[in-house]
Amino acid sequence: MSSGLLADRTAVITGAAQGIGFAIAARFIDEGARVVIGDINAEAAVAAARELGGDAVAVGAGCDVTSAADVEALLAVAAERFTPVDVMVNNAGITRDATMRTMTEEMFDQVIAVHLKGTWNGTRLAGAIMRANGGGTIVNMSSLSGKIGLAGQTNYSAAKAGIVGLTKAAAKELAHLGVRVNAIQPGLIRTAMTEAMPAKVWEQKMAEIPMGRAG
């Protein structure tokens, strides 16, 4: 039996082959959890799981969070390899930054689908398992962009704001069943996704940080 705050719990984390998701997975393992790493890049997910300690504590699998079937399959991996999900972290995300003048409908739809629909899929499907098992925890990754709005990110800001509303509504539906649903709104974190942002957007974000550095 392992020790730690998450001893013998099973966590499923989307978008966890790199960046914030990978860091969450590493910390969860340190706290005694077994983790299932989902990522659109299946090979990267498997490699990340291997780096985190391999089959005893981590397994990686491909997952397109916009597909309910993919999310169901990812949750099934948790039950097959470890135990049914205790902690779900809806972290998968993309950026398609542009001003409204240049942003296409496709760019808008892609970001809304991955962030908002993806989070809804994860919350809905993990929540169904947790309510049947008497409880669990769901963490949805929002962003300060969804709170304050950022130029060039109407799609991203809208999606991240939507996640907050989704989380509050889901929490009210599931609380009496022992399932907690919360959202996190990080500021600027240096990851492969954020480093791909246009320089102007990066500089704007940095200017808003009193310490002048990203997390």
131 within 8 A of 179, measured Cβ to Cβ: yes
Instruction: Quote the CA–CA distance of 121 and 128 in Å, as a whole number.
Output: 11
Q: Which of 86, 156, 170, 188 is catalytic?
A: 156
- Distance in angstroms (rounded) separating the CA atoms of residues 177 and 186: 28
- Contacting residues for 94 by C-beta, under 8 A, at least 6 apart: 110, 111, 114, 115, 193
Is 156 a catalytic site residue? yes
**What is the rounded CA–CA span in Å between residue 15 and residue 94?**
9
3-state SS track over 4-30? CCCCCCEEEEECCCCHHHHHHHHHHHH
Q: Is 193 helix (H, G, I), strand (E, B) or coil?
A: helix
* Backbone phi and psi for residue 181, each to the nearest 5 degrees, phi listed first: -130, 120
Catalytic residues: 156
